[in-house]
Amino acid sequence: MIDLLVRNIQTEKSSSTIDIAVKGGAIIDRGKGLNYRSTALIEGDGNLLHPCFVESHLHLDIALMNDPQTPGRPEPYLSHYGLGVSLEKRRRTFTQEDIENRAVTAIKSASRHGITAIRAQCHVDREIGLKHLESLVHVREICSELMTLQIVAFPQQVLTNHPDNYTLFQEALRNGVDVMGAAPNLDRDQHGKTDFRAHIDMGLVLAVAADVDLDVHVDLAIPPSITLDELETVYLARRVIEYNYENRVAAGHVSALGCASPDIAQKAIEIIHDARLHVVCQPDLYRLGREDEQNVRRGLTRVKELLNRGVNVTYASNNVRDALRPTGNFDLLEEGLILAYGAHMDTVEELNTIMKMSTYNSARMLGLQNYGLEIGCDADFVIFDCQTPSAAIVGQVEKLYVVRKGKIVAENRRFSTGVELSK
Summarize as ranges the residues that interact with Zn ion (CB under 5 A).
318
Query: How many other C-beta atoms are found inside a 10 Å radius of the C-beta of residue 1?
Result: 7
How far is residue 29's CA from residue 17's CA, in Å, rounded to a whole number?
14
- Angle at Cα 123 formed by Cα 117 and Cα 128, nearest 5°? 140
Phi-psi label, residue 192: left if phi above 0, alpha if psi -120 to 50, beta otherwise: left
Closest among 211, 250, 218 to 54, alpha carbons compared: 250
Pick 312 or 317: Cβ nearer Zn ion: 317
Q: Taking CB positions, which residue lies at the least distance from Zn ion?
A: 318
* DSSP class of 19: E
Task: Please say whether the beta carbons of 151 and 122 come within 8 A.
Answer: yes
Q: What minimum distance in Å lies between the beta carbon of 57 and Zn ion?
A: 6
How far is residue 298's CA from residue 282's CA, in Å, rounded to a whole number?
11
Query: How many other C-beta atoms are found inside a 10 Å radius of the C-beta of residue 43?
Result: 12
Distance of CA 262 to the CA centre of its chain: 27
How far is residue 110's CA from residue 116's CA, in Å, rounded to a whole number?
8
